[in-house]
A and B are shown apart, each in its own frame.
Chain A
Amino acid sequence: MAAFLLRRAIQGLAIVFTVVTFTFVLIHAAPGEPFGALLEDPRFTMAMREQLRARYGLDRPLPEQYARYVAKIASGDLDISLSKLRPVRAILAEALPRTLLLMSVALAVGFALGIGVGALQAWRVGSRTDRVFVRLTVAIAAVPDFWLALALMLVFAVKLQWFPVTGIVDDAMHPFLSPFGKAKDVLRHLVLPAGTLTILVAAVVARHQRAALLDVLPDDFVRTARAKGLSERAVVMRHALRNALLPTITLLGLALPSLVGGAVFVESVFSWPGMGRTALDALSARDYPVVLGTVLVGTSFVVVGSILTDLLYAAADPRMRRA
């Protein structure tokens, strides 16, 4: 187990390192430069530009800049933002919890809902309920994330006005609210963005869960459970579902990269100030350190998530523990 973890950790580190290096090359190969907005100011002279570039080490040859950056990451420093003039770590420390809040709610509720619906469908396979959910989940799988976000926004925020349209807090009122009121404020803002991602996750999970259960139900151990005289409910929920959960755990690891992407669209639609928005803003400002920082954190998140998935899998399946 320790050897496996160590191997996966080294592999993960190599992946993160490669992706960051690739992004570094990409971002410096691209046209445009930081301080682009300043250049449009007529008082901003070339000498001042050179001075700024020298201050942030941008006048150095690329290999040197790269070596410096890698040395900085190794010591836990993510450099300083070129557009906000704040440490990148502080910017990401603000944005990351917001995205994690969005994603953890979407993952937790989405998987719970999906497993429940899938189990219900498999239990009553061929029934009206099953057929309705088959259609529904297939349809949802075809809906673009950003469009679902817009549709929910239009119906529940603009027309019905049950929830706020954008943002993470009510900017005017938030500072004056009690701690409980503040939490409630964030929750109200969370419902629609998290709901969008939840619906999409749940539909995918439900389809897989139904298929996995139907795969397991003809097996011998299910027949044995039935022969013991257990109720159909106990057979499906306790015996079959436990085995059919394994493919769903794999799905969790596979869902992470696309969820990071989905979060970019959903954050953009709802102006949710998380990692996605931070990355988009940094890209258009050519804020190299912030772009690299978001890529570093995003990729690490996916890598750690996939290792955790493997651990979860080992915990759920005794056969995997020895391998």
Chain B
Amino acid sequence: MRRPIRGCDVPSTPVIASLSIPEPSNAIPLAQGTRLSQAARALWQDRAARTALVCLAALVLAGVFAPLLSPYHPDVPLGINTLNLRPPSAGHWLGTDPASRDVLSRMLYGTRVSLAIALLSALLASCMGLMYGGVAGYAGGALDSAMMRAIDALLSIPRVLLLITVLALWGNVSVFSLVLVLAVTGWFGVSRIARAEAMAARTREYVTAARALGAGHVQTFVRHVLPHLVGPVLVAATISVGQVVILEAGLSYLGYGVPQPNPTWGSIIRDGRETLSTAWWLTLFPGIALVGTALAVNTLADRLRAALNPRQLPAQ
């Protein structure tokens, strides 16, 4: 508590004034930190959120330990004429596919690919949206309205059409490029949320105070505005993880996603599309994984929003 007093006593020579900045800037992230940890506690006390978290943790573990858990190699045919399209049995819990590969093993490895792509691209997209929207909202005025007009335009492009165009033209893209394309087409919505929050934060007293005490725009933005955007952007990021899981599955189903023979949930469904009427297990099990994941992620996002913003709780 000594510093702000000293800062106030000394007339505002820039050097001393900038010394006085750390106190509020330390205080805000701390408050943010407690808010986030409070939200985490509230989340854990909510039964639906806890179930969702446990399910997602199990999925992540299944993906990480796929090599240990898989009974067979995911890409190697077990017997082209003898073991293809076998229904679920004791030897192959989720059956085999047209190329006589074990579906359970492919799904476990698929978990790895599907989740990694979704998490990485959501993270990347959120960072881009956070910075873009944050800057627009903090800057305000003509820059803000120009930046947001651009977002309006980008949001009116059908994302799936754009993705399919890029992926179909370049053919087999690497997982890394897929993540990049998904991220580049996925940050527009996040930037709107970040911008709204930044606009609200801009007019708060502590921002005025920081500016009055001589903090530059960059410092004010990074230390005092950005931390307030983290919560809402976290909710948006969580929602977009679920969206990307589904989107990537759809792209892989069309044959534009992760290149063969790498399994993803979507490409397993693709493998079964010719034999849909007889080999239902190729469509059902990856589908359950997809719906379950999206459901868990959506539930988590919904409860996270409520936990971060207790006043909105009745409306949700």
Contacts and interface: CB of A to CB of B under 8 A. Distances in A.
Interface of A: 11, 14-15, 18-19, 23, 26-27, 30-32, 138-139, 141-147, 150-151, 153-154, 158-159, 211, 214-215, 257-258, 260-262, 264-265, 268, 279-280, 283-284, 286, 291, 295, 298-299, 302-303, 306
A153 B272 CA distance: 14
A146 B249 CA distance: 9
Contacts of B308: none
Given A258-B158, A280-B254, A298-B158, A142 B291 contact: yes
Main secondary structure of the interface of B (DSSP, over half): helix
Contacts of A144: 246, 249-250, 287, 290-291, 294
A27 B280 contact: no
Given A138-B295, A142-B242, A279-B164, 5 more contacts: A15-B153, A23-B165, A158-B277, A257-B155, A262-B160
Contacts of A291: 165
Contact of A260 (B158, B277, B280, B283): B158
A37 to B, nearest CB: 15
B158 A261 contact: yes
B269 interface: yes
B168 interface: yes
B253 A265 contact: yes
A283 B158 contact: no
Contacts of B170: 30-31
Contact of A154 (B171, B283, B295, B315): B283
Contacts of B200: none
B283 A142 contact: no
A242 B276 CA distance: 45
A277 to B, nearest CB: 11
Contact of A153 (B153, B276, B291): B276
B273 interface: yes
Interface string B274-288: 001100100100010
A150 B158 contact: no
Given A14-B153, A27-B169, A299-B156, A143 B291 contact: yes
B123 to A, nearest CB: 21
